[in-house]
Amino acid sequence: MNTVILIGVITSMNISNGNKVIGKMKIETKIGFDKGRKEDKTATVPVTLFGFEREMLEDLKVGARVCVQGYVTENQRQFEDNVLITTEVRTFPSGLSIL
């Protein structure tokens, strides 16, 4: 298993209802600097949340700066005649902090 730590800003999120929260969000994180354009390079990373109590996520909003700890997963789906491969980060049970 691989472990990743991302620090970034939430750009979108969709959290399910229920006692244990399962949700999806996207985090924009800095991956470098483009010297030619003189601007930061960023990547938007999909993140899946598992098993969080709703109270833990009350302050979580689009635009919030967060630290995510988890692991990278790859999923394959058949889409018509093509195979769609998606990559996402799945959080550890205590792998989310609001900064």
pLDDT per position as a tens digit, 11-58: 998 887 665 667 889 988 888 888 888 888 888 999 988 777 777 777
Please report, for the chain, the start and end positions of each structural domain, with discontinuous segments joined by +. 4-98
Structure pTM? 0.77
Tell me the CA distances in angstroms from 88 to 47, 81, 96, one per residue in order. Answer: 6, 23, 15
pLDDT per position as a tens digit, 57-92: 777 889 999 999 999 988 888 888 888 888 889 888
CATH class held by domain 4-98? mainly beta
Is 2 within 8 Å of 16 (Cβ atoms)? no
The C-alpha torsion from 52 through 58 and 62 to 63, rounded to 10°, is -110
